[in-house]
Chain A
Amino acid sequence: MTKVSMTVNGKAVSAEIEPRTLLVQFLRDHLRLTGTHVGCDTSQCGACMVHVDGRAVKSCTTLAVTVDGSHVTTIEGLAKGDKLHPMQEAFREHHGLQCGFCTPGMIMSAVDIVNRKGHNLDEATIRHELEGNICRCTGYHNIVKAIADGAKHMASTPAE
């Protein structure tokens, strides 16, 4: 067993875990943060996406021990109390989800795209940047619309 400590959604956590524990297992099974999903489990679909030190990563392909000392943000860390994050609100508004399984990863990816590329995103940029996310319902059209709109609203809202 190895001790890991990290900050998850602003809260310091530490635990004794097996070194083979994936970050997504640590989040879901140890911290009970089940908003982060395991889709393909082969680092292709992006349902497991979280932010590590401000950058989107696939938590199914990252060992928890490797991000010891990092700041991790999951989908649970975006809303402020009952108030949804502007990107979550945009997904709701534009019907950017069907079954919803990919949604946490899509939203974490979307926020990361805005952090890297700014608030005025054209469709081609969004589609290109979504390369690491797969929607099994193929609901991309509304996802792209939601991200473009959410990006604009993030400009008028304080950063996460």
Chain B
Amino acid sequence: MYAFTHHSATSIADAVKSVGEGKYLAGGHTLVPTMKQRLAMPGNIVDLNKVAELKGVSDNGGVLTVKAMTRHYEVENSPVVQKAIPGLAKLAGGIGDPQVRHRGTMGGSVANNDPAADYPAAVLALNATIVTDRRRIAADDYFKGLFTTALEDSELITAIEFPHADSFSYAKFRNPASLYAMVGVAIAKKGGAVRVAVTGAGSDGVFRWKEAEDKLAANFTAAALDGLAVSPSRVNGDLHGSAEYRAHLIGVMAKRAMGA
């Protein structure tokens, strides 16, 4: 790892003021390995781990707010999350391994937008709002491609707001070595509207599967997805699985998310 300067931020304002050309450090379970491999070499690290105003979970009866530095383990075990959106707590409990969940944070995952990460699918399916130090960004406007988001330089995610849904579920097929999603499908239903988000597969990162949304809005059962397929042309192929294999898995995982 190359040398860098380190600043332990005391507040959101202090963090934003201090970051300059540097990087924010949340749980560090992507950034630190990336720096160790010298794939990233920020000259300055602004550490968010002591910023108290970035931690915690709350719910107002209609919207669940998860502050950015809330760790996966805390989302998994939070009674507030379990009551508001139980499927989100379950999703958090399936990220990585226990040690990763003890460190990794929701803000870090959503800011990084790894194409195989789990949270982006939940954020997109639940039509969440990404709250930053300077504005509010709708999920549909936030994800811009592999490791790419609408965030500006120095912009800091402070919280993510999840409107409650009538139902939310997530099913993923994990790579057995990395534990990342080969394919993950999140399905949220609210009133007559259904949103289906797919992670792990898209050649442009997380995406909404509109055809499945239409079918499920008309008939909210696994059987409604019969015969529906995603074209492999918009799906990633790599050594872990071909585009055709992943495209097939999307349909299978969508049905599993529907309880099939």
Interface presence of A156 (CB below 8 A): no
Given A19-B6, A20-B1, A20-B4 in contact, is the A65-B100 Cβ separation under 8 Å?
A: no
Select the stretch in A53-61, A82-90, A93-101 that faces chain B. Answer: A53-61
Other A-B pairs, 17, CB within 8 Å; known A57-B103, A67-B49: A20-B4, A22-B32, A42-B33, A43-B29, A46-B97, A46-B99, A55-B102, A61-B28, A62-B32, A63-B32, A63-B45, A66-B47, A69-B50, A109-B99, A129-B98, A132-B96, A132-B97
Closest beta carbon of chain A to B6's beta carbon, Å: 3
Q: Is the CB of B2 within 8 A of A20?
A: yes
Bound-state Cα–Cα, A132 to B73, Å: 14
Chain B window 34-64, contacts with chain A (Cβ cutoff 8 Å), 1 for yes, 0 for no: 0110000000010101100000000000000
Closest beta carbon of chain A to B58's beta carbon, Å: 22
Given A20-B3, A41-B36 in contact, is the A61-B29 Cβ separation under 8 Å?
A: yes
Name the one of A19, A57, A62 contacting B45, with C-beta atoms under 8 angstroms. Answer: A19
Interface presence of B179 (CB below 8 A): yes
- Which of chain A's residues 15-62 have a Cβ closer than 8 Å to chain B? 18-20, 22, 41-44, 46, 49, 52, 55-58, 61-62
Interface presence of A131 (CB below 8 A): yes
Contacts from B to A (Cβ < 8 Å): 1-6, 8, 25, 28-29, 32-33, 35-36, 45, 47, 49-50, 73, 96-100, 102-103, 177-179
Closest beta carbon of chain B to A118's beta carbon, Å: 14
CB-defined A-B contacts under 8 Å, sample of 12:
A2-B6, A18-B3, A19-B3, A20-B3, A20-B35, A56-B99, A57-B102, A62-B103, A65-B6, A69-B50, A109-B99, A131-B98
Closest beta carbon of chain A to B89's beta carbon, Å: 15
Bound-state Cα–Cα, A2 to B7, Å: 9
Task: Tell me if B's interface is mostly helix, strand, loop or mixed.
Answer: mixed
- In chain B, what residue has the closest Cβ to A68? B8
Name the one of A20, A44, A61, A131 contacting B103, with C-beta atoms under 8 angstroms. Answer: A61
Give the chain B neighbours of A62 by CB distance below 8 A. Answer: 28, 32, 103
Q: Is the CB of B5 within 8 A of A19?
A: yes
Give the chain B neighbours of A43 by CB distance below 8 A. Answer: 29, 33, 99-100
